[in-house]
Amino acid sequence: MGNGGMSKRLIIVTDQWGAKMGGCEAYLAELAKGVLAQGGRTDVLCRRSREPLDDSNVVEIPCTPFPRWLSEWSFGRRARSWLRKESGSPVLAVRPLENATHYQPHGGLYRLAFRAEGESLDAPLRRWLHPIGTALNLKRNLLVERQEKLLTKKDVPGIMVFSKRMRRQLQNLYQVSSCRIFACPLGVNLDSFRPADIDGADTGEGDFPWRGDPRILFVGHNFTLKGLHCLFQALSRVKGPARKFHLAVAGNGPVKSFGRIARKLSIDDRVSFLGGVNRDRLIRLYRTAHALAHPTFYDHCSLVVLEALACGCPVITTERNGASELLRNGGEGIIMDDPRDTRVLAETLESLEDGPMWRRMGRRGSRLMKKYSWKDHLQRTFGWLGLKIES
C-alpha cells in the first residue's frame, strides 16, 4: 500500500461512535484506525460518542433527544449543513444522508428489516399488529423515506454491500444501477480470530457455566430478530443424548423476557445469559463452542458468523443471512431455509452428537476465512472510497 500517507481524509457520518457500542460502530472504528495507520485523517460526525480514537476529530452534533423522530430529523439536517462547508473528501455515511458520497447500509434495507422484525415476533397477534405500529412510528417512517429517496435519486452515491443478496435487493426494489453498487464481503482480523492453539492451552472452560458438556453459542443483541426464541423452541424439542447440550447467550438483549420463555419451555437449566462480552472473551467462546447457532430472520451479512468460522467454530444459520452465501451447506455449517422450522433446527442440533463431522466443518470454516481477512477488506474499501496512498 506504499510507504507514504494518504492524500485525502475520510469523513464518517454515524449515529453513535465507539468501538464497544455494536457491530457497525466496531467496524467504523477499525476503518478509522486503518486510515490513521496510513497517516490519513478522519473526521466523525455523530450524535453521541464514547471512547473516541486518538487523532480522530469527533464532532458531536447536538440534537433534541425526544421525540426520537425529531432527533433523527435534526441530526440529518445539521449534518448536511456541516458537510456543505466541506468538499473534496469522501463522505461515508451508514445512515441515509443526502450529500454522502458513499453509503454503507449496515442495517440493510429498512423496509425489509422492519418487515422481518414483524415476522420474527412469536405471538400471532403481535405479528398482526406490527405493521400498524411501524406505520405509526414516525422515526421509522423517516428512515425508510430517507433511504428510499437516497437510493432512487439521479446521482445515487456509491453503495457498498457486504453480500450479493443485498445487491439483488437494491437492484430489484430500487433499480439501482449495478455500476453504483460495490459488493465486498466483510473481513475478519485473522491475527485475533483464529482457532485455538494446537497445544490446547486455550480451553475457555472459565467462560462457560458448564464443564465438559456440549456447548451451543448464540451471539447477538436483538434476540428476537436473530431468532433466539426459535432456538429455544428447537432446544426444547431435542431428543436423546443431545438433551445434555447447553446454550450460552452472549449479548445485551431482553434477558428477563427471554428467561421467562426458557422457563416456560423447561430449558432454563440448560441456558445461560452471559450479557455483553468483550472481544477476548468472545474469541474464547467461539473456540470452545461446538457450534454457533444464528437462526436469523434478517441479516445483511452477519459478522459473528464470519468470526466464529475464523475461530474454527461451525455455524448454523439461515439463507436470510447474507453471510450464508459464503458457505457450503454441510461444508462449513448448516444453512436453514426458515428460522421458524424448529423441527429442522432441532434435528440439526441433535446431529452435533456426530462430533467428527462438526469438527471437520470447523476446520473447513477456518480455512475458508483465510480468503476474507480484514486487511484485504480494508484495501478494497480504501479503493472504493477513493482514498489514494501517496508513493
Task: Kindly give the residue spans of alpha helices, DSSP state H, lying in 247-339.
Answer: 255-264, 279-288, 303-310
Q: Is the pLDDT of residue 268 over 60?
A: yes
Distance CA 376, CA 367 (A): 16
Q: Is the pLDDT of residue 391 over 70?
A: no
Average pLDDT of the segment spanning 118-145: 94
Helix, strand, or coil (residue 247)? strand
**Cβ atoms < 10 Å from Cβ of 148:** 16
Q: In Å, how far are 82, 291, 293, 355 from 195, measured between CA atoms?
A: 45, 13, 18, 17
Q: In Å, how far are 13, 226, 230, 314, 336 from 339, measured between CA atoms?
A: 33, 9, 7, 17, 7
pLDDT of residue 208: 56
234: pLDDT confidence band, cut at 50, 70 and 90?
A: very high
316 forms bridges with which residues in the sheet? 293, 334
- Please, are residues 10 and 36 in contact by the beta-carbon 8 Å criterion? no
Amino acid identity for residue 373 in this structure: S
Q: Which domains are present in the chain?
A: 10-187+374-385 (3.40.50.2000), 205-371 (3.40.50.2000)
pLDDT of residue 199: 43
Sign of torsion over alpha carbons 371, 373, 379, 380: positive
Q: In Å, how far are 37, 138, 303 from 323, measured between CA atoms?
A: 28, 31, 8
299 forms bridges with which residues in the sheet? 321
Cell 462438526 -> residue: 358
Greater confidence (207 vs 391) lies with 207
30-43 tens-digit pLDDT: 999 999 888 888 99
pLDDT of residue 26: 86
Distance CA 242, CA 57 (A): 52
What's the pTM?
Answer: 0.90
pLDDT of residue 52: 60
